[in-house]
Amino acid sequence: MAFICIFEVLLAIICFLFLFCLRNNVHGTPKNFPLVGMMPGLLLNTHRIHDWCTEILERCQCSTYLFQGPWFAKMNMLVTCDPANIHYIMSSNFCNFPKGSEFKEIFDILGDGIFNADMDLWKKQRKAAQGFMRHQLFYLFLLRTSRAKVEKGLIPVLEHVAKRGLVLNLEDVFQRFAFDSTCILVTGYDPECLSVEFPEVLFSKALDDAEEAIFYRQIRPQSFVKLQRWLNMGQERKYRKAWEVLDDIIPKYICQKREELNKLKEGFVSEIDEEGVDLLTSYITEEKTTDLKCDDKFLRDTILNMMLAGRDTTSSGLTWFFWLVSRHPKVENKIIAELESIIPAEETKKWRLFNAEEVKNLVYLHGALCEALRLYPPVPFQHKEPLKPDSLPSGHPVYPKTKILFSLYALGRMKSVWGEDCFEFKPERWITDRGGNKHEPSYKFLSFNAGPRTCLGKEVAFVQMKCVASAIIYNYRIQVLEETPVVPAVSIILHTKNGLMARVSRRWA
């Protein structure tokens, strides 16, 4: 008995010393150990990495600190959410901070697409994409297909579960909606994964697997990642399989589109004028105007980049938006009142769908969506590295190959940026004293990027989110199940770990 008591005391002391050693330094950064650096703290907090990073940056001077990885692992990175640093890197000294070779290696599945591209190639791709996405024909296509997908895809699913009193994973529904919608806009084809059958979609599953593997590539030593790749095991095995699936599916879309366009003759122009046009059609038919070689490899990379961006921004934004609204009934009531204000009195308190143009300028709904994106940005981290030695506004020196990581999640939770109430969900912070939408600088609200790389799909995302939000909030009651915790998953996209499980019921008879 005495031996057992002594053993228990020693074990308690060892545990205490271990936890004591893991405590943060006096200036707020994680404990830096010999050989392994700050890796122990990272590994212990991977499951809550966004909140962990926020806590560290809140304590650090200038909201910036140097994370030091294991020796010789090339994992050192400067982590920041300082708006001055962000503005300097993303805008005023943009040319010195490209994505870099390491970014392209981590995201190699995206090929030479716009997310990986730098310099002249990026400029050419952005110019072409901007021209196509701002064209009136594409906007007409966006309005028509968004309304159709809500009416013929989303509503039947909600009606199905509401009538039967079923529990629904809203995050899965939003991912299916966004995947179908983005696939239509990018390729012109509807995979129809949003239906009451909830079919498995290999394309969408492959994107999820690739995103998860890419996240782990950023928090593990490169040597370990390369070993996994060589042995074809773990996350790298999943990544390779996802790549194979994507490379099997995307070329079929391209081949089908080329065959379709080759068959069209004189009636093609009038058909486009009436129906609008998808991006793949634009790239193929307008190749000579783009200064780009739109071969199958380029189209494959372009489709994948746009699918990744379009699907995840919309679905993640909607998921966290509805979770926050479900916890704030006053916000929900204000959104309903705003929707009622734009329709005739005799049409209120009745089932109704809204057109994109009707909800486009709703101030409170727009503010609520921005507030959700502030607190839960779809892409919680961004990665940059300088070409030449430089010094950031915070005073931190950076050199070529220095990895600079922005934490967008932490940025939305900095009291120095958003005030003492930064953790609160307050759509009112996006409304001016005159009742209009308040603009916040992109280096403060980074959900759609900043500077020359500002997201081209921002308007697309808002059109889709407003169509979905107005349809659901006005016509249905959403009861999120309390027994299923809603917390961020470990991924490069801010998905939830367990989904957004809820019951749906009709608001009006």
Q: Which residues are annotated as a binding site?
A: 455
Contact 91, 388 (CB under 8 A): no
The separation between the first and the last C-alpha atoms of the chain, rounded to the nearest angstrom, is 71
Strands (DSSP E) contained in 385-443 are: 390-391, 397-398, 403-407
> What are the E-state strand segments in 130-251?
167-169
> Pairing relation of β-strands 77-80 and 403-407?
parallel
Burial of residue 395 (CB within 10 Å: 0-12, 13-18, 19+) is exposed
Bridge-based pairing of strands 381-384 and 403-407 is: antiparallel
- The two tokens of residue 391 are 């010094």
How open is the CA angle 464-312-463, to the nearest 5 degrees?
Answer: 10
Structure tokens at 136: 């009136």
For residue 244, count CB atoms less than 10 angstroms from its CB and return exposed for 0-12, middle for 13-18, buried for 19 or more: exposed
Q: At what angle do helices 296-326 and 170-187 cross, to 10 degrees?
A: 150
φ, ψ of residue 34 in degrees (nearest 5): -60, 145
* 64-67, strands of its sheet edge to edge: 64-67, 77-80, 403-407, 381-384
Annotated binding site for heme: 455
